[in-house]
Structure 1
Amino acid sequence: MRAAGDSTRGIADLVLHGGVVRTMTEQNPAATAIALRGGRIAAIGTDREVLALAGPATGTIDLAGRAVLPGINDAHLHATWLGALWPRTLFGPGGGEPRNPLHTNEQRRAAILRAGELLASLGITSYTEPGLGPGEDDGPTGAFGSPVVAQYRELAAEGLLKARVTVLSLYGELDGRSSLSDVLAGLAADRSSSDPRWLRFAGIKIFADGIPPMRSACTKCGYADGSSAGLLVDGVDDADREHNLTRMIVAAHRAGLQVGVHATGDRSIEVVLNAVELAGVGHGADLGHYVIHGDMASSEQLRRMVDLGVGLDVQPGIALCTGEQVDAVLGPGVAAESWRLGEALEFGVRMCVTSDAPVLSPDWRRQIAAADEWLGPAEDPRQRTAQLLRCCTVEPARQDGAASWKGVLAPGMAADLCVLAADPLAVAPAELPDVDVDLTVVDGRIVHDRAGTG
């Protein structure tokens, strides 16, 4: 047997051997080693096969039984805001509204770099900043406006990013209103990048509604106190707001742009799915549109997501943190009928498990543990962990439109990976947060080495 890959094309830059290689594919299930060359994966196989690619200048790392995974991709993470607040999170000790906004470009640059260091230490090699742009130029944090975009462009050009970044542009207020005219004007903005594999401007972010605990999610049933919430999109009445949100989504789709819509209530989710279905008529390109949060998505809506190719970005930790509040404002038992993660997995929804940091910690291990807790006991814990790991690697790469070159470990794919101190499939999901991230590699370059020894 020969190692997967073409060993005739040169000597490897780096070889990791003597461990477990979880490729997230059906290939090489017994692989113990992986070779990297020129920012790509050169080969995967047994120690003997892969070490044959090592030369005098090749770096070698003895995994000593540790596990290699594809680099983690957090598909919904506010890195600039995270860099400003960490170690605080909104749902953690000292949480609440941020009190240290970013006033200068130097502060924004420092926040992005600080977040990059933190994310590298967690094995995160890609992330999405879901909402940066002129809609927040006067925002209170300074972490979401156009100056942040400028800093990302500069850092990417200087080669200082430690993770690959996808950006959704924001033409309305964060957690607030947007207008049809502003969004339509924004569709013509410059989305070019010197290297889209490091910094890519994928499309737009729209806030359809708020969140259930604040009674701002747009729901079909209304709230226990008799109140109701409409869409955040501007309009003279509910029908006009729905029409305007639909026009935003259809126009973005026809401009070839991805749309990520913050929608938590079942009514807002319905409007989004109807709009995507309308947009696809005669314009059937799969642009990877997705619902962000989707707390109250029904079984029927999840099935429609599969049919329409609409993704879903979920935060299991938010379900655990806010379930009681949801029951308090919407009625007993509503939380248990929300966050249908099990059905999303069963139906095959393109689901990404994300952190929404700094709302929660950016630690993906905690999100997998939270998902497992929310789902309840598993018949096959190993299978569940594997499914949830895909939601942190394979599915986010699909959301990024990058499944052809990242998200799994295979010859020719990007050399983005992380090394865990133990095989994640050999521990219970609840134990995963205690498994150290020992090494992170992006584009073949080591960006985090916990022990400093490899």
Structure 2
Amino acid sequence: MSADEYADLVAVGGNVLTFDARDGRASGLAVRAGRLMTVGTDEEVLAYAGPGTRVLSLAGRTVLPGINDSHLHAAWLGAVWPDTLISENGLSAHEGRLLADEESRRAAILRAGQVCASLGITSYTEPGLGPGEDDGETGCFSQAVLDTYAKLAEEGELRARVTALRLFGVLDGPSTLEDVAAGLGALVPRSDSAWLNVAGLKIFADGIPPMRSAWTCHPYTEGGHGSLLVAGADDAGREHNLRTMIRLAHQAGLQVGVHATGDRTVEAFLDTVAELPDAAAGRHYVIHGDLVNPAQIARMGSLGMGLTTQPVIAVATADWVAGALGAEVAGAAWPLAELLSSGVRFTLSSDGPVTTPDWRVQVAAACTLLGERAPRPGLMYRLLRCYTTAPAAQDGAESWKGSLEMGKVADFCVLERDPLEVTPAELPQVAVDATVVGGRVVHMREGVALD
């Protein structure tokens, strides 16, 4: 080999879960210029090692593709960390403007990057940044935040790859058809799409069941069915405006993520997508989907749609949903088993800092919802796909990230133990020893030496 054919980094002596189509395993991998040269045996990998190659000795540790959190408010997370809205101590919130200037925005995004790196997160979706929140209370969701992301991407300062959705209404609040139509024609920051991809639009279609603001077919215990947040004179007018927003975004070639917790809201979204030409190409998806039902799941799969949900929120709010809609409705909410066995592009996420960004806690909570306490390697593997390959497909990036295969980006995390061999309760204690993004080591746990 000539010097320019050697790997920049190799990792050997491990248990590499590739998450490729064959569910393959290997013991090592080699990286050059941020891409995987090969994934295979130690002998195959070491063939690419030269005098300047960095060699990581995994010593039996397990390697996963980098974690991709498909719904993470990272600027907000960086502003409040280590606090979260939902925690073991109940509910907490920070009042007042958290990000007021460029310095605070940069600091929050960079701090979130450090948190993500420590957790093995190499990609995330920032779901809702734009002018609708320019006067927002916290300052965490404005157009200025998106502009700061673009600057950090250009400077090479991001530690994780970011997919962003634009927001032309108020966070957890109303939006108008006029604002969305005008916003779709606005310019977005230019950047390297491998690091910052402004993929589409987020619409807050409704609220949440505990607040009686989800639009649902089921009556609330006090009466009423909630309503859409989209502006309009009545239910029919609001639905018309929501459907028009979705159509306009699709026509513009944008992905649409709709915050839809009520089954009636989900139905309106599905009905709209079913009428779109080449609907599957949009990779549109439901955000949260608390009350999605089996018939809707089947339709979503046939339409090439996705759904991202947050297991910790589901566990934490189950009693509140029961109080709002009754035990029967609450018992059918968050149908993870049906989603896992469907053709839906199903992802798990944190909604951080609403809950912890720790994917290990989220996966353990998913097992709780599924009634699983013992080690179930097959189930654990499927749940980990919801944090790796499925989010890559949601990002439209499955050809270059999400699994560990030759030619794809070298994004991976190193765990001290094999997550397929532990109980759900043990998973949160499995340490993340290292995180690599684009072949660059962005995190090494204190006290760990792999060189």
Common fold: TM-score over 0.5:
yes
Q: 1:104 aligns with which of 101, 126, 130?
A: 101
1:75 aligns to 2:70 (yes or no) = yes
- The range that moved more, 22-31 or 180-189, is 22-31
Rounded to whole Å, the distance in 1 between the matches of 2:241 and 2:225 is 20
After superposition, residues 254-293 of structure 1 pair within 5 angstroms as 254-280=251-277, 283-284=278-279, 286-293=281-288
**Partner residue, 2:118:** 121
Rounded to whole Å, the distance in 2 between the matches of 1:202 and 1:189 is 14
Rounded to whole Å, the distance in 1 between the matches of 2:128 and 2:225 is 26
Q: CA deviation at 1:378?
A: 7.4
CA offsets 1:87-137 (integer angstroms, 9 cap, x no match): 110002374332252222211111101000000000000000000000000
Q: 1:234 aligns with which of 231, 235, 259?
A: 231
Q: CA deviation at 1:336?
A: 1.2
Rounded to whole Å, the distance in 1 between the matches of 2:150 and 2:445 is 29
Identity %: 56
1:155 aligns to 2:157 (yes or no) = no
- Quick check: 1:88–1:95 contact (8 Å CA) kept in 2? no
Q: CA deviation at 1:166?
A: 0.6
- Quick check: 2:17–2:63 contact (8 Å CA) kept in 1? yes
Question: Aligned letter for 1:172?
Answer: G
CA offsets 1:35-83 (integer angstroms, 9 cap, x no match): 1111000111111111111111111111110011100000100000000
1:328 aligns to 2:328 (yes or no) = no
Rounded to whole Å, the distance in 1 between the matches of 2:31 and 2:364 is 31
Q: CA deviation at 1:346?
A: 1.0
Q: 1:361 aligns with which of 353, 356, 359?
A: 356
CA offsets 1:367-414 (integer angstroms, 9 cap, x no match): 000000101137971001000000000000000000000000000000
**Partner residue, 2:204:** 207
**Partner secondary structure for residue 194 of structure 2:** coil
**Partner residue, 1:3:** none
- Quick check: 1:83–1:115 contact (8 Å CA) kept in 2? yes
- The range that moved more, 88-97 or 132-141, is 88-97
**Partner residue, 2:45:** 50
Rounded to whole Å, the distance in 2 between the matches of 1:197 and 1:114 is 20
Distance change >3 Å, CA 106–CA 94, structure 1 → 2:
farther
- Quick check: 2:415–2:433 contact (8 Å CA) kept in 1? yes
1:178 aligns to 2:175 (yes or no) = yes
**Partner secondary structure for residue 165 of structure 2:** strand
Question: Aligned letter for 1:15?
Answer: V
Q: Which structure 1 residue ranges, 4+ long, deviate > 4 Å from structure 2?
A: 6-9
Q: 1:338 aligns with which of 333, 344, 349?
A: 333
After superposition, residues 370-381 of structure 1 pair within 5 angstroms as 370-377=365-372, 381=376
1:197 aligns to 2:194 (yes or no) = yes
Rounded to whole Å, the distance in 1 between the matches of 2:107 and 2:4 is 40
Rounded to whole Å, the distance in 2 between the matches of 1:265 and 1:55 is 57
Q: CA deviation at 1:426?
A: 1.5
- Quick check: 1:177–1:234 contact (8 Å CA) kept in 2? yes
- Quick check: 2:280–2:305 contact (8 Å CA) kept in 1? no
**Partner secondary structure for residue 109 of structure 1:** helix
Distance change >3 Å, CA 9–CA 405, structure 1 → 2:
farther
| Runs (5+) with no aligned partner, structure 1 | 1-5
Rounded to whole Å, the distance in 1 between the matches of 2:133 and 2:94 is 15
- The range that moved more, 189-198 or 58-67, is 189-198
Rounded to whole Å, the distance in 1 between the matches of 2:237 and 2:387 is 37
Question: Aligned letter for 2:305?
Answer: V
